[in-house]
Chains A and B, each alone.
Chain A
């Protein structure tokens, strides 16, 4: 199993009690799946995705990633696991404003201690693959929303992760751009990557193979 969650809960202290964002989440995701997490606002979708992406460590329960007990790993070990296997796509693209497209793509590789020479060839490959070679010296504010998200996806997959997590990847895009991104995810999935996306869109969900419904922190349908 690629991902296994057992009784994962996340809550905040609130007065004398606690407010729960996720309740007893049990979930298994196999390699090669294309999963869509859906649900109304405040259901806990993004929280769940960030727990899967190991950005969030303040939760309880058990999380196994490729049979590694994430809940028992220290921050450094989690970071290593995340760097090695996970790519993340954000709704708001979250490109670094001061860096060019090329440099934005290079960043995850530099954090993985990839040599300069290898970085150059990997960035060149991805620019070519995503057909954005002409944009490599532009800054994010010189790109359209769709182009920015294209770079965001390219950045997420440049280090060849097994899993791509996407938080409403088309949320800020118009439909044509959204379709282009979703086609990209489909092709990534077909080439072996596991995709987990949070989405409100039934259309986007239809690109996937499985839908998980969340409501008030509970998994209500899978």
Chain B
């Protein structure tokens, strides 16, 4: 073996061009596969970083067509009765304001209904987690802070536990510090503080309502209980709640999924598709290298025949050639891993922000082991065919020099390999084409508002300083006035939430005068907005009127609805003038005064959903987002926006300022990421397939020099010779295209749920990628064809 290894290294060094080419082709394949595998491993496969993570479950309260799975806090309390699970806890995200520790800061918060750390089996760095007494309504405010907050804002004070922090203007006792290794919920930005859900006034209000489904629920399977048993028991509790509380729970089911599955499910298909795509690229790289080795094998026949004549058995020759292949792939693997370090950083930087755990993905020992295995497997995969072909040669004939140069078996194998490369390339091109068209279609979607030249900022008002509606309404008015007076700002408005920003709110409603049936699911996206909201956002008014300053807290309650709500709930009649009661701020029925165009709330691919808008002063919230429309570059006004808020209230930290175009772009981030990577892999695959075709044809022309010389000597024109080569190329291309189309039609179905506005068998896409690939085949055939026409019959025949 050592001899084989030594000879393999020497052989590779004697042909540096060949070695470099093979290493480059394989390194690209192995590097790309390692990058995607490391992401799949880090995001999908690696267990969550909690004790006995496989026993953690998410309990979802779902309605038909609603996959969010959030439950109400009273539901969570009832679910605790289950014996098959323990440590049931609900949580939801939000933000709070920290003051008195340097500049006022907005903290990313997770509000909990219980001991989240106990559920996850995560020890604290200092202190303790929440006890039942801490999460009861009316309990003294407590907080568990993250280690980074402890270091940055509390100077890593060893006596922090038992001390207080001013959160939302009230003194909260810090009961614990969570270590940096604790990260939950797993999201792109790390949580700064964990608080009982009733810490804020609005949290306390919502936590008491059975109909407010806003917390995610997790639990740990009880010892000895299976997920199926838990699902059955929790399902039964869900059915009981539906019977007992039909108004809020009639259409709800309780289901159980592994926690890891809930966290990564959204990204599973896209990442699996990318892993498949990169695997296909590696396959093509292997086919290309196998082709190169087969071609080189012809030149090595004499050497192998001598070895056979000296006593090397077939197994020994196969072993030697495989050792060479594995040495090649090992070098390529090492280069590929180096490439993957760079590639992973590039992919992570280009990836959408919401892929959980992506930023923790590393090329670690597990990934290195994968790369090593992959390299060895690759070496064997591409080395096997050439090794077996070479081992079958007839030593006697070869050494007598009577074997014809072109072994028909080898030629056929090379042709099959190249046709396979074309087929796989078509598969990848078709997939990339469909994902690309999806991205284009998404980018063309009418979001329902004009995102250009707008800036938005979230504002969260602490209960202590803004304890009631009048205080909140006053700040809201002063804010809008202040923003409107910023030079370069054309108009300013506010809304409880803004579309596509990741904050959406749904509220139930009832149409006055209609019987209420419990099973009716009358829920609509809801926004409390300022008078200029529609004009500032560029949302088209379809009928009726928009809000004015006169629609204030003293005026009769009014409502504006979207076209879809009007069409769905008032079919064949005019929604204007109808009266609707909304499930928030018990202010009685509201008159519908206007209908506006539909707006995309959370996703570009979503169907239009019912939406309703109420004047902010009539349904005030302790948080809202402001939006301004500027005359020129909106980004230039960001600092002025922040300064305006600080001037109004120095203790009120301004939130992140972003353009609405940023949020719209963010909404296409995931499909753009998938489409970009798939396109990159398809491009590499097509390039490699083109190289493969070029190699086979060029070799074929070299082998057929004598035949071509004779043809030319007998009067063939250059066009005839060119046709000879092009026909061979076309046959290879057509065979590959045929197989590729059949495969693509089958496999692209798996992409269906990632597509938008295009079917998985879209004829335009399939036609376009087939044409593109055929063009690559023709381009790859051009040089060999031209070389064939330049064969000098005299030289070719004399050389024979």
Contacts and interface: CB of A to CB of B under 8 A. Distances in A.
A120 B353 CA distance: 63
Contact of A56 (B11, B313, B394): B394
A90 B311 contact: no
A76 interface: yes
Interface residues of A, number: 30
User: Which of B307, B312, B396 has the largest number of chain A CB atoms within 10 A?
Assistant: B396
Interface string B291-317: 000000000001101111111111010
Interface in A50-99: 50-51, 53, 55-56, 58, 75-76, 79, 82-83, 88, 90, 94-99
A47 B400 contact: yes
A112 interface: yes
B310 A107 contact: yes
A53 B397 contact: no
Interface residues of B, number: 24
A51 B400 CA distance: 12
Chain B interface main SS type: helix
Contact of B309 (A55, A58, A75, A110): A55
Given A76-B313, A79-B311, A79-B313, A94 B10 contact: no
Contacts of A23: none
A46 interface: yes
Nearest to A99: B7
A71 to B, nearest CB: 16
Interface in A28-58: 46-47, 50-51, 53, 55-56, 58
A111 B311 contact: yes
B396 A98 contact: no
Contacts of A50: 395-396, 399-400
Interface in B319-347: none
Contacts of B397: 56
A105 to B, nearest CB: 10
Given A53-B309, A112-B311, A90 B10 contact: no
B554 interface: no
Contacts of B396: 47, 50-51, 53, 55-56
Interface string A107-118: 110111000000
Contacts of A79: 311, 313
Nearest to B312: A111
Q: Identify the interface centre among A46, A95, A112: most chain B CB within 10 Å of its CB.
A: A46
A112 B3 CA distance: 14
Contacts, number: 63
Given A55-B395, A55-B399, A94-B399, A88 B309 contact: yes
B400 A82 contact: no
B503 to A, nearest CB: 69
A55 B308 contact: yes
A27 B394 CA distance: 24
Nearest to A54: B396
Contact of B10 (A56, A98, A111): A98
Contact of A110 (B3, B11, B308, B394): B3
Contact of B311 (A95, A103, A106, A108): A108
B753 interface: no
Contacts of A96: 303, 306-307
Interface in A155-176: 155, 159
A47 B394 CA distance: 12
B400 to A, nearest CB: 5
A90 B316 contact: no
B222 to A, nearest CB: 62
B14 interface: yes
Contact of A94 (B3, B302, B311): B302
A18 to B, nearest CB: 16
B165 to A, nearest CB: 73
A97 B310 contact: no
A155 B791 CA distance: 42
Contacts of B309: 53, 55, 88, 90, 94
Contacts of A76: 313
A140 to B, nearest CB: 11
A88 B306 CA distance: 10
A110 B394 CA distance: 21
Contact of B303 (A47, A56, A97, A103): A97
Contacts of B307: 96, 107, 111
Interface string A121-134: 00000000000000
A94 B316 CA distance: 19
B310 A90 contact: no
Contacts of B308: 55
B408 to A, nearest CB: 15
A164 to B, nearest CB: 13
Nearest to B2: A116
A111 B304 CA distance: 13
B329 to A, nearest CB: 20
Contact of B310 (A46, A47, A51, A108): A108
Contacts of A47: 396, 400
A47 B302 CA distance: 17
Task: Tell which of A56, A94, A159 has the most Cβ of chain B within 10 Å.
Answer: A94
Interface centre among B14, B308, B310, B314, by most A CB within 10 Å? B310
Given A46-B400, A111-B313, A155-B310, 8 more contacts: A47-B400, A50-B400, A55-B308, A55-B394, A56-B396, A82-B311, A90-B309, A96-B303
| Nearest 9 CB-CB pairings of A with B | A50-B396, A55-B396, A56-B396, A83-B311, A111-B311, A55-B395, A94-B306, A108-B310, A111-B312
9 contacts: A55-B396, A58-B394, A88-B310, A94-B302, A94-B399, A96-B306, A111-B310, A155-B310, A159-B311
